């Protein structure tokens, strides 16, 4: 047929790729490897444009690297545990496994219809026992190293989803998924000790040159390292002590009060039976209604109440009041802070509000500072004053150091590094997750399931009662077991793991997805890891990446993998917008990928999405631009169709190249140079595509001239065009490549190298004159600069000869035409 029948072409090649297993890879030490990975999707039911964008970007990278000679691993799978499947079960009684598998099947077909070059033999699904067996194994590895532990803790609780939420899943005090107000609940929970790795997670960010700096900053802030000191204050008239954490121990002489978190155990002790008790209790009840997010918000109005008790400042012996405050977090530092209103903005406002003392202990160098002059805290550096033997020191360096030394020498405190990073709460009271492989025995306590007994299978006969308890509790068969140690009757843990655990190691499983003996073979992960290019949404910039980095380091420490960072390069793709807003069901502005593929084909969908914006930017959907991409592919089709079926008069290849021949050759190689650089260095797919479009114009232009054309020149341009377009529009180019008479797949071609010589503009003849007399001619590339022409002219033998014993007065240059050397 001589029109662009995308349906026929796409179906044909998708079948061919599937039948020949075209993108299957195995370890091959003779080739450099390249691991290209897109974040695996949750099987929600249908692909959305965000997926299409993510996988189209990844596919260009994978196909390009393959053509560059790399052994490319490009796998796909399913992050398939999680709430929506369970909600379907609760609402409609539909089995989560069935719901999930059906969605996976549907989305797999949709991915295949996109023509993405996956090695489907490596497909994995985190909800299947052959995968979660190893997630459970991973839990046991951490447990054995003391990195998985259980503790009673106050957790964020979504009353509507009836589940625990991580801090990060609480958005503006509401549940990330359903927006209901989140509250607190005390529960025994499993944690992973991410805090043990805080410093390494921070330090190793430096190795990640291939990550966007904004993502590294987000990771850094999340880890939140701070350097300071703990200081111990004695409570007046008791044996109790209050330990505070401060980053400003240089201001210790300026402390005029101390504030405890409402949850601090001393609060009750200090106020019990006193006239202050009722007031303090009311205050605490009020504060506990706030979420952690509200309590840390900078908008929060700082409030506090007096406890009636006092502490003694360990440096100057002064008595200052103890308060309880809404802004002090029990989980951070020591849950108690010292108030220095003269040098902290928050404390300044607080002191003004409650009429607390303010004392200046740092002055700007060479100036004095009194409280009456102050409208706000003085937070800059300066010289210490009112600070006993430390007065006169520069606060920042020496002051800090001397105070710390004093505290340590007198057992009143010590230097301390704190992190905001918390341990990772992994317990979920949900059904659709990997069961935590622990058994509780009356005699032996918590005992991990033995590796040979893994997986701990999810039971099917459970009840979905949204009562806050794990549905696994309702299965007696599941719960009742025997102790792996002593064989007495025992009960299973019924919590399942946070799905982030499943996704924190899947990139390792892709290296060896079918292994039944191990989670993965080290030789295989040694060959493939780390991931050379990871691509996904910026919404995973903190948690998923942190957890994956953490798990990789744990496995590295156990000698199970050799890398300590999983992802060498990271690309965070922008959002897909329509009418200026994120495409989403709730906004009703969704364009379905299926609709676009049916109307224009996958190649057009891919091309548009890559052409409309650079990968990291947001992309605005535009129907005309989709149409435009479709027309472009039609134009490419017609060009090659007519080249093949309607040959023009071709000149003999030996003939000298005309100006037109040289122009087309130059544009061809310039395009190759540009597209290669765009793919190689910057992922500027949009500009790569527009250069290809220009090349197509140039070929049309060349062939439209009613004259003889040079077969070699056209052939080279058309072949390069098809090759360069192939990562973007893989089906069409595969078809055209065959049409051009090739027997191999275009995706097996080597990426061509551009010819530096062909880039040079046409040659021109420059006349050489000395004092106006013609003395010769220069054949040079057009467009040389005056300096270059002058240098060349002066190097000519006959010029040298003619000006030998004369002095040059001046040199007149008309670029591309003439050089006149004036001598005397």
Interface residues for ligand ANZ in 336-375 (CB under 6 A)?
337-338, 340, 343-344
Q: 602-611 and 623-645 are packed helices; what angle lies between their axes, rounded to 10 degrees?
A: 120
- Asked if residue 629 lies in contact with residue 608, where contact means CB atoms within 8 angstroms, the answer is yes
Q: What is the CA radius of gyration of the chain?
A: 35
**How far apart are CB 581 and ligand ANZ at their closest, in Å?**
35
Nearest to 177 by CA among 168, 187, 185: 168
Q: Are 403 and 394 in contact (CB under 8 A)?
A: no
H helix or E strand, kind and range, residue 342: none
For the CB of residue 331, give the shortest distance to Zn ion in the complex, in Å.
Answer: 34
Select from ligand ANZ, Zn ion, none the partner in contact with residue 443, using the beta carbon and a kind-dependent cut-off of 5 to 8 Å.
Zn ion
- From 247, 642, 796, 802, residue interacting with ligand ANZ (rule: CB under 6 A): 247
CB of 231 to ligand ANZ, least distance (A): 9
450 binds Zn ion (CB under 5 A): no
Residue 787: its H or E element: helix 786-795
CA distances from 23 to 14, 72, 121, 683 (A): 12, 8, 9, 22
CB count, 10 Å around CB of 114? 24
The stretch near ligand ANZ (CB under 6 A) out of 305-313, 321-329, 687-695, 793-801 is 321-329
Interaction of residue 335 with ligand ANZ, rule CB under 6 A: yes
Q: In whole angstroms, how close is the CB of 233 to ligand ANZ at the nearest point?
A: 12
Q: Which stretch binds ligand ANZ (CB under 6 A): 93-101, 144-152, 244-252, 701-709?
A: 244-252
- How many residues form the binding site for Zn ion (CB under 5 A)? 6
Residue 443 lies near Zn ion (rule: CB under 5 A): yes
- Quickly list H helices, 558-615: 593-600, 602-611
Decide whether 251 or 387 has the Cβ nearer to ligand ANZ. 251
State the minimum distance, in angstroms, from the CB of residue 344 to ligand ANZ. Answer: 4
Taking the complex as a whole, how short is the minimal distance between the CB of residue 141 and Zn ion, in angstroms? 22
**Binding-site partner at residue 444 among Zn ion, ligand ANZ, none, CB < 5 to 8 Å by type:** Zn ion
Residues in the chain: 824
Nearer to ligand ANZ among residue 414 and residue 622 (C-beta): 414
Q: Which residues make Cβ contacts (< 8 Å) with residue 224, sequence separation at least 6?
A: 418, 419, 420, 421
With CB under 5 to 8 Å by kind, the binding choice for 335 among Zn ion, ligand ANZ, none is: ligand ANZ
In our burial notation (b when 16+ CB lie closer than 10 A, e otherwise), range 119-155 reads bbebbbbbbbeebbbbbbbbbbbbbeeebbebeebeb
- Alpha-carbon distance of 550 to 194, in angstroms, equals 7
Least separation in angstroms between CB 279 and ligand ANZ: 21
Considering only residues 249 to 278 of the shown chain, the ones binding ligand ANZ according to CB under 6 A are 251
Looking at the Cβ atoms of 446 and 760, the one nearer to Zn ion is 446
The count of residues interacting with ligand ANZ (CB under 6 A) is 18
Q: Is 246 in the site for ligand ANZ (CB under 6 A)?
A: yes
485 binds Zn ion (CB under 5 A): yes
Strand ranges, E, within 355-494? 362-363, 383-384, 413-418, 424-425, 427-428, 438-441, 445-448, 480-482, 489-492
| Residue 226 touching ligand ANZ (CB under 6 A) | yes
Least distance from Zn ion to the Cβ atom of residue 143, Å: 16
Residue 419 near ligand ANZ by CB under 6 A: no
What residues between 83 and 122 interact with ligand ANZ by CB under 6 A?
A: none
Does 482 participate in binding Zn ion (rule CB under 5 A)?
Answer: no
- Name the token pair of 586: 């709730």
Q: Which CB sits closer to ligand ANZ, 247 or 281? A: 247
Residue number, 327 or 754, with CB nearest to ligand ANZ? 327
Q: Are 766 and 818 a contacting pair, CB within 8 Å? A: yes
Residue 523 Cα to chain centre, angstroms: 27
The correct pick among 248, 264, 669, 731 for binding ligand ANZ (CB under 6 A) is: 248
Q: Please give the sequence-ordered ranges of beta strands (E in DSSP) within 718-796, or none if there are none.
A: 763-770, 773-781
For Zn ion, the binding residue among 90, 97, 444, 759 (CB under 5 A) is 444
Among 74-82, 104-112, 246-254, 799-807, which window interacts with ligand ANZ (CB under 6 A)?
246-254
Q: How far is the CB of 488 from Zn ion (least distance, A)?
A: 5
| The two structure tokens encoding residue 423 | 């341990």
Work out whether 328 is an interface residue with ligand ANZ (CB under 6 A).
yes
Q: Which option in Zn ion, ligand ANZ, none does residue 328 bind, with CB closer than 5 to 8 A by kind?
A: ligand ANZ
Query: Cα dist. 197→212, 547, 552 in Å?
Result: 22, 11, 11
For the CB of residue 445, give the shortest distance to Zn ion in the complex, in Å.
8
CB 433 within 8 A of CB 462: no
Give the C-alpha separation, 814 to 216, whole Å.
53
- State the nearest-atom distance from the C-beta of 525 to ligand ANZ, in Å: 37
Instruction: Report how far residue 405's alpha carbon sits from residue 419's, in angstroms, rounded to the nearest whole number.
Output: 22
Nearer to Zn ion, 442 or 795 (CB): 442
Stretch in the footprint of ligand ANZ (CB under 6 A) among 274-282, 335-343, 459-467, 718-726: 335-343
Binds 246: which of ligand ANZ, Zn ion, none (CB < 5-8 Å by kind):
ligand ANZ
Structure tokens at 743: 């027997």
CA gap 759, 822 in Å, rounded: 34
Of 20, 18, 68, 116, nearest to 724 by C-alpha is 68
What the block records as the tokens of 243 is 């330990």
Q: Which does 811 bind (CB under 5 to 8 A by kind): ligand ANZ, Zn ion, none?
A: none
Which residue, 169 or 251, is less far from ligand ANZ as judged by CB?
A: 251
How far apart, in whole angstroms, are the C-alpha atoms of residue 17 and residue 116? 10
* SS3 category, 713: helix
Report if residue 486 touches Zn ion, rule: CB under 5 A.
Answer: yes
* 769 contact, one of ligand ANZ, Zn ion, none, CB 5-8 Å limit per kind: none
Tell me the CA distances in angstroms from 710 to 72, 230, 493, 657, one per residue in order: 37, 81, 76, 8
Question: For ligand ANZ, what does the binding mask look like between residues 176 and 215, x meaning CB under 6 A?
Answer: ----------------------------------------
Answer for which of 245, 424, 431, 506 binds ligand ANZ (CB under 6 A) is 245
Residue where the block lists tokens 């009041």: 321
What is the token pair recorded at 140? 């046991």
Nearest C-alpha neighbor of 356 from the set 371, 367, 370, 335: 371
Dihedral sign, Cα of residue 181, residue 187, residue 191, residue 196: positive
From the list 329, 764, 780, 823, which residue makes contact with ligand ANZ (rule: CB under 6 A)?
Answer: 329
CA separation for the pair 75, 34 (Å, rounded)? 12
In the complex, least distance from residue 195 CB atom to ligand ANZ, rounded to whole angstroms: 14
Does 696 participate in binding Zn ion (rule CB under 5 A)?
no
Name the H helices within 272-397: 277-288, 292-296, 345-354
Q: Is 491 in the site for Zn ion (CB under 5 A)?
A: no
- Residue 585 annotated as binding? yes
**One character per residue 174-193, x = contact with Zn ion (rule: CB under 5 A):** --------------------
Task: Kindly give, in sequence order, each residue whose CB lies less than 8 Å from that of residue 446, ignoring residues fewer than 6 positions away.
Answer: 150, 438, 439, 440, 493
Judged by CB under 5 A, the stretch of 120-128, 189-197, 439-447, 805-813 that binds Zn ion is: 439-447
Q: Which residue lies nearer to Zn ion by CB, 450 or 460? A: 450
Binding residues for ATP: 585
Contact set with Zn ion (CB under 5 A):
441, 443-444, 483, 485-486
Contact set with ligand ANZ (CB under 6 A):
226, 245-248, 251, 327-329, 332-333, 335, 337-338, 340, 343-344, 418
Binding residues: 585
């Amino acid at each position: 047929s001589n029109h662009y029948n995308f349906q026929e072409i796409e179906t044909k090649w998708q079948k061919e790729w599937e039948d020949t297993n075209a993108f299957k890879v195995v370890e091959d030490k003779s080739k450099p490897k390249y691991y290209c990975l897109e974040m695996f999707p949750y099987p929600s039911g249908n692909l959305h444009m965000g997926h299409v964008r993510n996988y189209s970007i990844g596919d260009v990278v994978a196909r390009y690297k393959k053509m560059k000679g790399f052994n490319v691993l490009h796998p796909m799978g399913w992050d398939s545990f999680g709430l929506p499947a369970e909600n379907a079960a609760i609402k409609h009684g539909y089995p989560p496994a069935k719901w999930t598998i059906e969605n996976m099947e549907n989305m797999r077909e949709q991915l295949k219809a996109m023509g993405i070059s996956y090695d489907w033999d490596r497909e994995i699904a985190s909800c299947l026992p052959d995968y979660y067996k190893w997630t459970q194994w991973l839990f046991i590895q951490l447990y054995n190293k003391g990195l998985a532990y259980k503790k009673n803790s106050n957790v964020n609780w979504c009353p509507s989803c009836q589940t625990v939420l991580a801090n990060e899943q609480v958005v503006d005090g509401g549940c990330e998924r359903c927006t209901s107000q989140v509250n607190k609940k005390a529960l025994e929970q499993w944690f992973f000790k991410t805090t043990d790795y805080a410093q390494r997670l921070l330090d190793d960010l430096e190795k990640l040159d291939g990550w966007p700096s904004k993502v590294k900053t987000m990771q850094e802030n999340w880890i939140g390292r701070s350097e300071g000191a703990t200081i111990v204050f004695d409570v007046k008239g008791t044996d109790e002590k209050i330990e505070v954490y401060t980053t400003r121990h240089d201001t210790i002489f300026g402390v005029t009060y101390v504030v405890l978190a409402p949850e601090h155990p001393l609060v009750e002790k200090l106020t019990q039976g006193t006239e202050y008790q009722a007031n303090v209790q009311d205050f605490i009840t009020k504060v506990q209604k706030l979420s952690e997010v509200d309590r840390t918000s900078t908008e929060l109005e700082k409030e506090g109440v007096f406890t009636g008790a006092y502490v003694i400042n360990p440096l100057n012996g002064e008595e200052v009041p103890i308060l309880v405050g809404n802004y002090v977090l029990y989980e951070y530092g020591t849950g108690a802070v010292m108030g220095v209103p003269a040098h902290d903005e928050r404390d300044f406002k607080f002191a003004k509000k409650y009429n607390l003392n303010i004392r200046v202990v740092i002055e700007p160098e060479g100036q004095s500072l009194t409280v009456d002059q102050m409208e706000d805290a003085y937070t800059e550096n300066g010289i210490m004053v009112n600070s006993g033997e430390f007065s006169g020191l520069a606060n920042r360096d020496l002051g800090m150091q001397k105070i710390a030394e004093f505290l340590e020498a007198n057992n009143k405190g010590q230097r301390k590094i704190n992190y905001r990073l918390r341990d990772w709460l992994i317990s979920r009271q949900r059904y659709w997750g990997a069961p935590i492989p622990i058994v509780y025995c009356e005699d032996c306590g918590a005992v991990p399931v033995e590796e040979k007994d893994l997986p701990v299978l999810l039971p099917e006969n459970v009840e979905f009662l949204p009562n806050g308890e794990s549905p696994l509790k309702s299965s007696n068969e599941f719960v009742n077991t025997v102790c792996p140690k002593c064989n007495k009757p025992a009960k299973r843990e019924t919590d399942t793991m946070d799905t982030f655990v499943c996704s924190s190691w899947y990139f390792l499983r892709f290296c060896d997805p079918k292994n039944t003996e191990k989670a993965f073979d080290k030789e295989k992960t040694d060959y493939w890891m780390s991931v050379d290019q990871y691509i996904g949404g910026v919404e995973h910039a903190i948690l998923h990446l942190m957890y994956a980095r953490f798990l990789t380091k744990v496995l590295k420490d156990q000698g199970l993998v050799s890398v300590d960072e999983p992802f060498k390069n990271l690309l965070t793709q922008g959002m897909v917008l329509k009418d200026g807003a994120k495409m989403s069901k709730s906004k009703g502005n969704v364009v379905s990928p299926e609709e676009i593929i049916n109307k224009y084909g996958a190649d057009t969908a891919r091309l548009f999405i890559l052409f409309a914006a650079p990968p990291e930017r947001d992309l605005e959907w535009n129907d005309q631009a989709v149409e435009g991409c479709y027309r472009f592919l039609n134009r490419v089709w017609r060009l090659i169709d007519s080249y093949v079926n309607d040959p023009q008069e071709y000149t003999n290849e030996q003939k000298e190249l005309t100006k037109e021949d040289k122009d087309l050759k130059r544009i061809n190689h310039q395009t190759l140079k540009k597209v290669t650089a765009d793919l190689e260095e910057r992922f500027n797919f949009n500009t790569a595509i527009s250069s290809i479009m220009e090349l197509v114009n140039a070929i049309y232009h060349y062939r439209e001239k009613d004259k003889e054309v040079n077969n070699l020149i056209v052939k080279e341009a058309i072949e390069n065009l098809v090759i360069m377009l192939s990562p973007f529009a893989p089906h069409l180019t595969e078809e055209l490549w065959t049409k051009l008479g090739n027997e191999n797949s275009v995706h097996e071609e080597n990426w061509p190298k551009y010819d530096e010589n062909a880039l040079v503009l046409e040659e021109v003849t420059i006349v050489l004159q000395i004092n106006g007399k013609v003395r010769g001619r220069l054949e040079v590339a057009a467009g040389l600069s005056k300096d270059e022409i002058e240098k060349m002219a002066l190097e000519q033998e006959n010029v040298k000869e003619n000006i030998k014993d004369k002095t040059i007065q001046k040199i007149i240059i008309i670029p591309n035409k003439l050089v006149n050397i004036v001598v005397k």
